[in-house]
Amino acid sequence: MQILTKRCILTLLSESDFEELTPLITNETVRRYLGGVRPLESSLNGWLLSIQSLDEYIFAVRLQISSVAVGLVTLAQHHNQEDMEISFMFLPEYWGNGYAREAVGVLLKFSECELQLSRVVSETQAANIRSRSMLEKLGYTLESEVERFGEKQYIYVFKNKLL
């Protein structure tokens, strides 16, 4: 499966993407609001299980112009076991260019048109101002807050308009 944005190509994650996307797991800046750097082996094993799941969508995000991998976006079960959640992580050198916004935006359309979901959530640390701002620009609204992973988290909801 492949989904295009204006500047990016989203393809379902495959084992061949693991090496190029390893910095997403090991980079302290990327992992700052995601619970810190994770052990590489367990993370790669988690990715392997996820790509075999029929209930999760994990997309490698590549630039159309160069095919360079810049991040990941996922659509998977949220912690509350009721909603599907869109999450994302991008390499710092690509922050501020709108790639995450494009990728999350197209995944919102996918969730609505292809999966017929009436709503999706995204959870981020309260301290992650940039992610919160991006979610709000995409039309998410703050629904609740919880403490998880030792930090205050905000849960944003996006209600699909067609359903």
pTM, entire model: 0.86
> What's the pLDDT at 103?
97
User: Nearest CA to 99 among 89, 109, 108?
Assistant: 89
Residue 32 has pLDDT above 60, yes or no: yes
pLDDT, one tens digit per residue, over 89-130 is 999 999 999 999 999 999 999 999 999 999 999 999 999 999
User: For the sheet containing 69-77, what is the strand order?
Assistant: 2-4, 8-12, 57-63, 69-77, 84-90, 119-125, 151-159, 141-148
The pLDDT of 43-67, averaged and rounded, is: 76
Question: Mean pLDDT over all residues of the chain?
Answer: 86
